[in-house]
Amino acid sequence: MTLAHYLTLSGLLFLIGIFGALTRRNIIGILMSIELVFNAANINLAAFNHFRHPGGVAGQAVALFFITIAAAEVVVGLALVLAIYRNTDTVYVEEFSLLKG
């Protein structure tokens, strides 16, 4: 296995996540797609750490920070989704038009 294999895998995962974030109507679906994008970035960090810097762990440390940030992001995101759902009674993003007046 070479670094190119892992980069191809993470690139495909990234593209699937971007496609989902652009096309899903459900806001929870968009959040799930963003999690896939985060994971693609983490695979890249771990792969570069393994292949370019075998003795070190700096890439893994940064990936660990990313996992923490993603956890914080999803907690705040889901709290916001719940608050929006309470106000608009829908989970579909085209219907979130409170600011239109």
Phi-psi category of residue 5: left, alpha or beta, with phi > 0 → left and psi -120 to 50 → alpha: alpha
Q: Which residues of 9-40 are buried (b: 16+ CB within 10 A; e: fewer)?
A: ebeebbeebeebbeebeebebbbebbebbbbb
| Distance, CA of 24 to CA of 9 (rounded, Å) | 22
Nearer to another protein, 55 or 101 (CB): 55
Q: How far is the CB of 67 from another protein (least distance, A)?
A: 5
Nearer to another protein, 18 or 96 (CB): 18
Map the footprint of another protein across residues 55-74, applying CB under 8 A. 55-58, 60-61, 63-65, 67-74
**Any contact of residue 6 with another protein (CB under 8 A)?**
yes
Per-residue x/- mask for another protein, residues 15 to 34, rule CB under 8 A? xxxxxx-xxxxx-xx-xxx-
Number of amino acids touching another protein (CB under 8 A) = 71
Q: How far is the CB of 56 from another protein (least distance, A)?
A: 8
Query: Which helix (H) or strand (E) covers residue 2, if one does?
Result: none
